[in-house]
Amino acid sequence: MLVLLPPSEGKANSGEGAPPVLESLSLPGLTAAREAVLGELVELCSGDEEKAREVLGLSEGLRGEVAKNAGLRTAGTRPAGEIYTGVLYDALGLATLDAAARERAAHSLLVFSGLWGAVRVTDRIPSYRCSMGVKLPGLGALAGHWRAPMAEVLPTVAGDGLVLDLRSSAYAAAWRPKGEVAGRTATVRVLHAPTRKVVSHFNKATKGRIVRSLLTAGSAPQEPAELVEVLRALGYVVEAEAPGRAGRAWSLDVLVDQIH
């Protein structure tokens, strides 16, 4: 099972580990594309601060993120699972998983990133600020930059098992499973049961809990229909819609009563 996650906008401090080494990251087929984004981002943030803030969409209160990005090549690093914070990652609680569940997380979780493309939770990266929606001056829209290298690398990473796609639309734009891989991909929405509306905060928290439940239970469904049964057995209320034709992903709605 491969689980595709969005990053978090807020991130923990980089820590005191060694600086980033792109060649040491998972998915080495993305190294050249990572170097291109890193170079552009560092150059942008080493120059005009106001221009960098505008390009990155940073508020006045996040001005310090520009200097952080300028120093990325020499910044300390921590495992990506410690860098990413926020609602989904708080609910996932990687640090509190037992050893077996942490091992499963290391092999099955893939976090998408405007800067790194995609990383495993064990990959050592510095704290940064660069969302997938950014358009860097020399590269253009990052989602477009990542599409070709992702299309080369991700089908192999997906293997022949289930792909559980929990990404937001901005990060999904960087790689959309196609063909046979799409047929064993499941996307998930979290809906407030009484209103059938998506509630952003609880949507993220529930997705984090779903991943934690699967990791803790040691569940490894091989296809979307099996995932539906596993989630129901774990106590989730799930409605599933199989694709109307080949090459499309399954759509799963997880219904919740709480909205906080």
Tell me which residue range forms the domain holding 63: 2-256
**Looking at 72-76, 144-148, 256-260, which range is the least confident one?**
256-260
d(CA 43, CA 58): 17
What pLDDT does 89 receive? 97
pLDDT band at 46 (very low <50, low <70, confident <90, very high): very high
Element (H, E) at 39: helix 31-45
> What is the number of domains present in the chain?
1
Work out the angle at residue 102's Cα, subtended by the Cα atoms of residues 99 and 103, and round it to the nearest 5 degrees.
85
* Residue partners of 246: CB distance under 8 A and separation at least 6: 183
Rounded to the nearest integer, the mean pLDDT of the chain is 95
d(CA 181, CA 151): 11
- Tell me the pLDDT tens digit for each residue of 113-134: 999 999 999 999 999 999 999 9
As a whole-number percent, the residues of the chain with pLDDT over 90 amount to 88
- Tell me the pLDDT tens digit for each residue of 146-200: 999 999 999 999 999 999 999 999 999 999 999 999 999 999 999 988 888 877 7
Decide if pLDDT at 238 tops 90. Answer: yes
What pLDDT does 131 receive? 97
H helical segments located in 109-253: 142-158, 169-172, 179-183, 200-217, 224-233
pTM metric for this prediction: 0.95
The radius of gyration of the chain's CA atoms, rounded to the nearest angstrom, is: 18
Element (H, E) at 90: helix 87-92
- Tell me the pLDDT tens digit for each residue of 217-230: 998 899 999 999 99
What pLDDT does 65 receive? 96
What pLDDT does 197 receive? 83
What pLDDT does 244 receive? 83
Contact 196, 78 (CB under 8 A): no
d(CA 128, CA 114): 10
What pLDDT does 259 receive? 62
As a whole-number percent, the residues of the chain with pLDDT over 70 amount to 99
The two structure tokens encoding residue 101: 């569940």
- Tell me the pLDDT tens digit for each residue of 74-113: 999 999 999 999 999 999 999 999 999 999 999 999 999 9
- CA nearest neighbour of 122 among 92, 155, 80: 80
Under DSSP, the state recorded for 16 is S
Contact 166, 6 (CB under 8 A): yes
